[in-house]
Structure formats: structure tokens, C-alpha cells
Structure 1
Amino acid sequence: MESLVIPVLILLIVGAAVLLVARAVGRRTAGATGAAAKTSRGTPSGDPVETAKAAAAKLTEDQHRRLYALIAQGQAMAAIKLYYEASGEGLRASRDAVGALAAHPQPFRSAAPKVPEHDDDDAPERFPYRYRAIASKGDVTREVSSNMLNDEIYGRIRTLARSGDTEAAATALTRHSDISMKQAREFIALLDD
């Protein structure tokens, strides 16, 4: 009997090790399956509301209207074909998207227009307030009032003037206000001290 104890203990230890390895592999496989559950475009297939929102965002207004007309008429295959051609996704992803759109109707939302960043070369932005810049030297005082100026722009103009680049400062001032180049030069002359 004593001779069987050691082999049985070894067998139990090996069995426990195999069980632990099987669990670890099972967890990795479940993680990989969850990652593979995403469609080719990265939309989670587990949440139909998010799938519907993502699917609706890929359609133009006309495609959106036609797709919901087909869904309302009960023409699921035609709706899947329309979505497949419109989105370029696979058949399974198109089927899931149309199913989600049917179960969770989405209103059409046009893509928000991209707002270009403002550079010094672009047309000046108009602000909802009037900015007043005042410069004086001795008895001479000049004022510029514009809704295309703000502290940042006026600070750049002053920096240009103080660094000796008066022509660039005057050009920037005329671009951000409604004054002539002559008036801008007179204003800048009062700043360059």
C-alpha cells in the first residue's frame, strides 16, 4: 500500500497542473473570442444600440432613408444588400448592422462640418464683441475698435511692432480691423517704443 501512495500523489499533482493549464488556455481563448467578436470595422457586435449608431453614421441621408424604407417593407435581404454596398463591410457585419438598425431605429445625423484651424494667413475670425486698442505717445492718441481683434491677436501685433517689424504689424492690424494701411502705420508708430 505504501508503494502506491507516491505514484497516486504524483498523479494528483500532474492532474492539478493539467487542470490549471486548461483553465489558463480557456481564459486566453475566451479573450481572443471576445476580441474576434468585433466586426472588421471595430464595432462591437455585443451591443446592438452601439452597432446601430455606428451603422447609421456610415450612411448618407438618401441611403438611410432607402434602408429604413426597405426595413419597413419587410425586405431584409434588399436592406442588407443596400447596407453592404453603401458601407463596404462584409455580409455578416452588414446583416448584424441592418438587424441592429431594425431593432434600434436611428435618426439620420449629418456629419458635423470640420472647423478649420485659424492661421495668420486665413481670414480673421469675427468675435461677438468689439475690442478696443488704444495707443498714445505724448499728445497723439489713436484708437482701433474691431470685432476681429482680441488680446492674443493684439499681443502678436504689439510684439511685431516692438521687434521692429512695423510693416508686418501694420498689415496684421489692417487684416483684423477696418482701418487703412496709413492709419495702421500711424497706430503702430505709437507702439514701437
Structure 2
Amino acid sequence: MESLVVPVLILLAVVAGVILAYRAARKRKAERGATQSLPAATPQELARAAAERLSEDEHRRLYALIAQGQAMAAVKLYYEITGEGLRASRDAVGALAAHPQPYRSPEPTQPPEEAEDEPQRFPYRYRAIASKGDVTREVSSNMLNDEIYGRIRTLARSGDTEAAVNALTRHSDISPKQAREFIELLDD
């Protein structure tokens, strides 16, 4: 019986090795399948995306390391900055070295502009009166309020007559000629 113990142990070791190898091969195949289903980014796209993740100082330091030929230090710096994996950091630094990217500051978010289509209508009619000497003009509209009229008055007083005329005609039902006559009375 002693003579069978050694061959049985060898057989068990071989079976365990085959099972482990089979599982590892399945795992590798599954990982390859998952990465192949994702669209592969070109090196230029990878470099652009990597550069966008860096601040101006980080960008400068990373390219200084690349220029000095310190690839490992550059990978380590990128890894520390972004927190991505080592392989992703290596790929990003390689793409940045192969396809240098200038630093681009983040685009400032633009506040939404007021809709130029239709001015807001208020539940009341606003009455604006301008007079100079014997001449008096009146504009009455439910698209005017103190704020809008204040902007029109400021435009007129600063000398931007056309902008004031356009704003007044947009926020009332008067003609450009009538608006121009009204604005002329505001010019002081």
C-alpha cells in the first residue's frame, strides 16, 4: 500500500494543476473578451484624454520628466496624480510622449444666455415716460420692467443708441423710429 501513496499524490497534484490552468485560461479569455468589446482608443485620443486630466503645473512636471528620459518617474507621477492603474498610467504616459499635447485650460462654463426669441411678458403694463423741454414721449408695454428699462437707459446714456433702440423695440410694440425718438430724449 505504501507503493501506491506516492503515485496517488502525484496524480492529485497533476489534476489540481490542470484545474488551475483551465481556470486561469478561462479567466484570461473572459478578460480579453471584455476588453475587445470596448472600442479601442487611438493613441492620439488617449494622449488628449490624459492631458485633460492634468493641471497646468502637473502637465509641465510630467513633460519635464518625459523630456529628461525619466519614463518610470513620469509613470509614477501620472499614477499619483490620477489614481489610475499602473498599466493605464504607463499607456497614458507613452501616448503623451508619442503625441505631445499642449496644455489647455478647462473651458469656462458659459451661463445660459437669455432666450432671444421672445421677451418675457409681465402681468402688468409698465409705463416709461421721457421728456425734454416741450417734447414728451411715452412707452407702455407688458414686456418692460424697472430692470429692463434701466438697462435701456444705461445704453442710451453711454452713447450706444442703436443697442438701446433695439432693446426698446424688442420689449415694446413701437416702431424703431418711435424708439429712436424716445431714446433721443434719454440722451443727456
Give the TM-score of the pair, scaled to structure 2. 0.50
Deviations, residues 149-193 of structure 1 (Å, cap 9, x unaligned): xx64xx526x33xx42538832242243225xxxxxxx9xx96xx
Give the Cα separation in 1 of the matches to 2:44 and 2:145. 56
Give the Cα separation in 2 of the matches to 1:112 and 1:34. 33
Matched, 1:113 2:73: no
User: Equivalent residue for 2:176?
Assistant: none
Matched, 1:178 2:153: yes
User: Equivalent residue for 1:34?
Assistant: 36
1:65 to 57, 60, 64: 60
Where do residues 1-80 of structure 1 align in structure 2 (5 Å cutoff)?
A: 32-35=34-37, 44=40, 46-80=41-75
Could you say if the C-alpha distance between residues 29 and 83 of structure 1 is closer, same or farther in structure 2, counting changes exceeding 3 Å? closer
Identity fraction in percent? 50
Unaligned runs of 5+ in 1: 1-27, 39-43, 121-150, 180-186
Moved over 3 A (4+): 28-31
Number of equivalences? 117
Give the Cα separation in 2 of the matches to 1:175 and 1:98. 55
Could you say if the C-alpha distance between residues 30 and 67 of structure 1 is closer, same or farther in structure 2, counting changes exceeding 3 Å? closer
Could you say if the C-alpha distance between residues 71 and 88 of structure 1 is closer, same or farther in structure 2, counting changes exceeding 3 Å? same
Give the Cα separation in 2 of the matches to 1:108 and 1:178. 43
1:100 to 95, 103, 107: 95
Q: CA RMSD in A?
A: 3.5
Which structure has the bigger radius of gyration? 2
User: Equivalent residue for 1:3?
Assistant: none
Give the Cα separation in 2 of the matches to 1:116 and 1:67. 33
| Aligned-partner residue type, residue 148 of structure 2 | L
User: Equivalent residue for 1:156?
Assistant: 119
Deviations, residues 11-55 of structure 1 (Å, cap 9, x unaligned): xxxxxxxxxxxxxxxxx986533136x7xxxxx4x5111111110
Unaligned runs of 5+ in 2: 1-29, 128-142, 155-167, 174-188
Give the Cα separation in 2 of the matches to 1:67 and 1:51. 15
User: Equivalent residue for 1:81?
Assistant: 76
Give the Cα separation in 2 of the matches to 1:54 and 1:33. 18
1:110 deviates by 1.1
Give the Cα separation in 2 of the matches to 1:29 and 1:85. 26
Deviations, residues 110-147 of structure 1 (Å, cap 9, x unaligned): 11111111369xxxxxxxxxxxxxxxxxxxxxxxxxxx
Could you say if the C-alpha distance between residues 69 and 115 of structure 1 is closer, same or farther in structure 2, counting changes exceeding 3 Å? same
1:74 deviates by 1.0
Give the Cα separation in 2 of the matches to 1:87 and 1:30. 25
State the secondary structure of the residue aligned to 1:176: helix
1:107 deviates by 1.1
